[in-house]
């Protein structure tokens, strides 16, 4: 088959990178013999234990095919049809799941304005209204994203504040952790420390964006253990019960063992910070948010787009302000960064010489 003539390198998404070699090795290594299916295989049992090692309060892990499914399942199982979930207005849940939370889970989202992607209790307070009013969907959950969709990260104190807010208002707390490992890496803390601060009911634990071929997990914590029973059935009903579970479990296991998740998170964060450094001082570029994960949001002159796009793929995140999202991943190299920055510098110089 002829290779496609796609751009050489992409800063479009961490989904654009391939599969980390160690994950592929793990898949090949287990591709022999027979094993039980639907989560009854030895690797799925091992994964359960591995998750509990990293997150001692994890009660049960449910592997699913993608991050949207993990989020939608969380809402479906934790909320009743008359209950609602608060989330940030820029959350993936609200903007990028094609209304699956509403369509598939049948749950109401209440998007709230965020600050650099982060929600604060004081901005959420005013949504806690009309308790017991049969005409009004009852707020019963808060969903936050760590790291946020804007690449920013809640500190442990901010997580504790949100936990306190949830406890005060009897809300469940869901975390969309599509890039969860990156947050711990930036904060320099363990997963357990982040979880002690947030004490969530449910976590969508991502893998695909951090080098897996395709595996995500919805984790139910002890405080919400009663949800696990329903989840067994709901996952099947929502078409997310993989048959050959061992191939998803093998990816997650390889990712979690021997600190591969740390290695990948460090690498992609380092490359993002390297890009930040490399483009600082280039006239015409305006960084929008602090670089705390593997993404940079940068406003730049629209006129540069065509030339840049001939060599690199990336998305325009905000078409009004012309802000691009540039993402690094486990296989972004320092050479990629250097070349991209060089290209941006040339565009800037060209414009100034006109």
Ligand X SMILES: Cc1ncc(COP(=O)(O)O)c(C=O)c1O
Which among 63-71, 72-80, 133-141, 280-288 is the span making contact with ligand X, rule CB under 6 A?
63-71
Residues 66-95 interacting with ligand X (rule: CB under 6 A): 66-68, 71, 92
Q: Is the dihedral of CA 137, 142, 143, 147 positive or negative?
A: positive
Q: Which is nearer to ligand X, 204 or 348 (CB)?
A: 204
Shortest gap between Cβ of 14 and ligand X (angstroms)?
A: 8
Shortest spacing between CB 245 and ligand X, in angstroms: 17
CA quadruple 114, 300, 267, 70: dihedral positive or negative? Answer: positive
Q: Which residue is nearest to ligand X (CB)?
A: 67
In angstroms, rounded to a whole number, what is the distance separating the alpha carbons of residues 64 and 172? 21
Residue 282: CB minimum distance to ligand X, A: 27
Quick check: bond before 147 cis, omega within 30? yes
Work out the burial of residue 47: count CB atoms within 10 Å of its CB; fewer than 13 is exposed, 13-18 middle, 19 or more buried: buried
Query: Least distance in Å: CB of 146 to ligand X?
Result: 9
156-168 and 191-198 are packed helices; what angle lies between their axes, rounded to 10 degrees?
30
Nearer to ligand X, 88 or 347 (CB): 88
**Minimum distance between the CB of residue 295 and ligand X, rounded to whole angstroms?**
9
Q: Which of 41, 50, 149, 158 binds ligand X (CB under 6 A)?
A: 149
Question: Which residue number, 66 or 83, has a Cβ lying nearer to ligand X?
Answer: 66
Which residue in 114, 145, 234, 348 binds ligand X (CB under 6 A)? Answer: 145
| 203 CA to centre of own chain | 10
CB nearer to ligand X: pick between 195 and 285: 195
**Number of residues this chain uses to bind ligand X (CB under 6 A):** 10
CB of 45 to ligand X, least distance (A): 25
234 binds ligand X (CB under 6 A): no
Phi (first) and psi of residue 346, to 5 degrees: -60, -40
Compose the 160-199 pattern: x for residues touching ligand X by CB under 6 A, - for all others.
Answer: ----------------x-x---------------------
Three-state DSSP at 86 gives strand
The alpha helices in the chain, defined as continuous H runs, are 21-30, 42-54, 67-78, 92-95, 100, 121-124, 156-168, 180-187, 191-198, 226-237, 245-256, 260-279, 305-311, 334-353
Binding site for ligand X (CB under 6 A): 66-68, 71, 92, 145, 149, 176, 178, 208
């Amino acid at each position: 088959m002829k290779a496609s003539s796609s751009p050489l390198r992409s800063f479009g998404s961490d989904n654009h990178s391939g599969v980390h070699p160690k994950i592929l090795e793990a898949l090949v290594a287990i591709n022999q013999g027979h094993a039980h299916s639907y989560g009854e295989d030895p690797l799925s049992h091992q994964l359960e234990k591995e998750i509990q090692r990293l997150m001692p309060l994890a009660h049960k892990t449910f592997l699913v095919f993608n991050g949207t499914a993990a989020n939608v399942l969380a809402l479906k199982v934790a909320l009743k049809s008359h209950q609602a979930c608060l989330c940030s207005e820029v959350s993936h849940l609200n903007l990028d799941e094609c209304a699956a939370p509403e369509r598939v889970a049948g749950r109401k989202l209440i998007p709230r304005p965020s600050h650099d992607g982060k929600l604060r209790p004081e901005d959420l307070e005013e949504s806690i209204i009309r308790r017991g009013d049969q005409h009004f969907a009852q707020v019963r959950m808060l969903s936050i994203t760590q790291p946020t969709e804007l690449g920013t990260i809640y500190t442990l104190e901010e997580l504790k504040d949100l936990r306190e807010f949830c406890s005060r208002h009897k809300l469940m707390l869901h975390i969309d952790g599509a890039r969860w490992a990156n947050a711990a890496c930036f904060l320099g803390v363990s997963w357990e420390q982040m979880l002690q601060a947030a004490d969530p009911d449910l976590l969508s634990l991502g893998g695909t964006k951090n080098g897996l071929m395709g595996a995500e997990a919805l984790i139910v914590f002890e405080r919400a253990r009663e949800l696990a029973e329903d989840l067994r059935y709901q996952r099947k009903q929502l078409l997310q019960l993989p048959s050959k579970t061992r191939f998803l479990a093998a990816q997650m296991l390889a990712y979690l063992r021997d600190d591969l998740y740390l290695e990948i998170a460090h690498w992609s964060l380092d490359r993002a910070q390297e890009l930040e450094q490399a483009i600082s001082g280039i006239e015409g570029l305006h960084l929008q948010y602090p670089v705390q994960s593997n993404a940079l949001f940068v406003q730049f002159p629209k006129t540069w787009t065509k030339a840049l796009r001939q060599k690199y793929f990336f998305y325009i995140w905000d078409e009004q302000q012309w802000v691009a999202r540039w993402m690094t991943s486990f296989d972004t190299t320092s050479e990629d960064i250097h070349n991209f920055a060089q290209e941006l510098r040339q565009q800037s110089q060209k414009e100034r010489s006109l």
